[in-house]
Amino acid sequence: MPKTVLFIKPSNSTFILKNETFLQEEYRLFSHHYVYGNALRHLSSTIHLLFWLLRRLAAADVVIVWFADYHSWLPVGLARILGKPSIVMVAGYDVARLPEFNYGVFVRRFRGWCARIALRNADHLCPVAASLVEDIRPHIGAVKGRIQVIPFGFSAQKWYPAGEKENNLILTVSVGEDLRRMRIKGLDLFAAAAQRLPEGHFMIIGPQGEMLNHLRELQIPNLQLLPPLPPAELLSHFQRAAVYAQFSIREGLPNAILEGMLCECIPVGVPAGGIPEAIGDAGFMAASRSVETVVAALHQALAADRQLGRKARERTMILFSEERRRSALREIIAGAAPHAN
């Protein structure tokens, strides 16, 4: 008989739904969506979650929680009390603290407390990138084998090359509205690089609101701004782009760069979070987050042989496939057990 899995999620993002679908196929799955909002909304959501757990937890074999945040302390804490193994997926924001950008769970004291309770009491922590391990350690003390890196998985059938590349097209994707996100995702640096590299056709997909207005006001003639696009249209731009650039201040595992790599874009990144882990030897890394170093790396990418784009696709298919993630999830669920104090 398949194991009974409780699955607590804070949203219905693409990657959460993809994992939920897989779990439904192989386990007896019960899902709960914790709805975020203001203080009253959190209180209501926590009470709802508590009663849901009281009905389901005794019969569960394992508890899986997506992200360490407001919603995670209660299921992990109750699982600990009842001797049920728990697994927390860690994506990056949930172990971040960048007060200058008001970014990360640990910027707020109570929110950080909720996340820390989950991180310390979960039996298994599964960050999506190896770079997040060092961000987790300060919150849990001794590790004792509780951390297992399980990267996101990407479909080579959904993201694939087609047609001719536009040799000077440099793409980045970041959906958002505020200037804080613009800086965290490095769009200001991307725009500065466009000014320094007029022969390049720079494209940003996703800016809206204040972010869009700010980028428009820069009046950079070789910088094209597009709104968020449906997957089919986004795919066509990945297929056209010669280079995909990611200049973030902080990243877990950068999803868009790996989707671009599957479409044979040559990746260019900066040394932040999981960006070097994604690119490996299949692209170019700027030495720092300076305009001079990213422009130099972009020059290298534009001059590189297209074989490097094919290497980027092969790397992603081997290291970041959907089946590789599924296999790792099966393994950790099969071996999930409460850890000793």
Query: From its phi and psi, is residue 136 left (phi > 0), alpha (psi between -120 and 50) or beta?
Result: alpha
Helix count and strand count (H, E) for the chain: 14, 11
Residue 224, strand partner residues: 203
List where CATH 3.40.50.2000 sits in the chain.
4-153+322-334, 166-319
Task: Find out if CATH 3.40.50.2000 is the number for domain 4-153+322-334.
Answer: yes
- Portion of the chain with pLDDT greater than 70, in percent: 97
Residue 80 has pLDDT above 90, yes or no: yes
| Confidence (pTM) | 0.91
Across the range 257-279, mean pLDDT stands at 97
What order of strands is seen across the sheet that includes strand 223-226? 223-226, 201-207, 166-176, 241-246, 266-269, 284-285
**Tokens found for residue 31:** 């899902």
What is the pLDDT averaged over residues 51-60? 96
Task: Tell the CATH topology of 166-319.
Answer: Rossmann fold (3.40.50)
Q: Which residues of 118-155 are buried (b: 16+ CB within 10 A; e: fewer)?
A: bbbbbbbbbbbbebbbebbeebbeeeeebbebbbbbbe
Mean pLDDT of 45-65: 97
Burial of 106 (0-12, 13-18, 19+ CB in 10 A): buried
pLDDT at residue 339 greater than cutoff 70: no
